[in-house]
Structure 1
């Protein structure tokens, strides 16, 4: 809890919100497939052995372009869904940190997640996000009072 600049936030409240966030975020991440429905071809592969080498090279380029476009579309769709979840929880956290904008809260979550990338230590991540949010809120409040 920090009341350095009249910011009273209980860690348990933040931890509960971040627990819900972690569950929803990872569940959403698992529900989206990023594997296109069409196959990806390596150089030197043939689509049709009865056609010329030139035709096969051109066909593979076309099909790989379709694969790439579909992959990018799937990743974009997944990123939008995950960002919507961040927005939802930024709204909840903004009630606890009224001096911070949703953009600042999402920044705190992203910075902390990047540091913990690949780690399943949600307690450490939650604590880090909590500390970063307090830091941002205190700095912002301090600047406003000057």
Structure 2
């Protein structure tokens, strides 16, 4: 099953859950009591927050996919197939760190190029640092948007 199909199914399940949660929030508000209204208002904030998270996650995912397609069309998509792997399939830590250092040097040499920032984000990801990978990918997305 493709990753996008799984993401769509999970999003659909989350939308159903958020709808049911909103229904409970409205039911609490309809009680008319002070506690019920207060709890209902609090419960109604959760679906709003959930929708915002879903929209931002899909938006970011689509932006990353757009950058990936551009790099693929240019033949510049990062390739780590030659790096040694652990039995789990993850890239060996030392190899990931060395690959990361090469990408970091590329960014230092050309900080305005979204392509090298994309590759650095990928390097952070294979090194296991997902939070820095996300932040670095945001920088790549900003630079690519300015480049267009």
> TM-score with structure 2 length normalisation?
0.36
Larger RCO (alpha carbons 8 Å, 6+ apart): 1
> TM-score with structure 1 length normalisation?
0.36
Higher Cα radius of gyration: 1
Higher helix share: 2
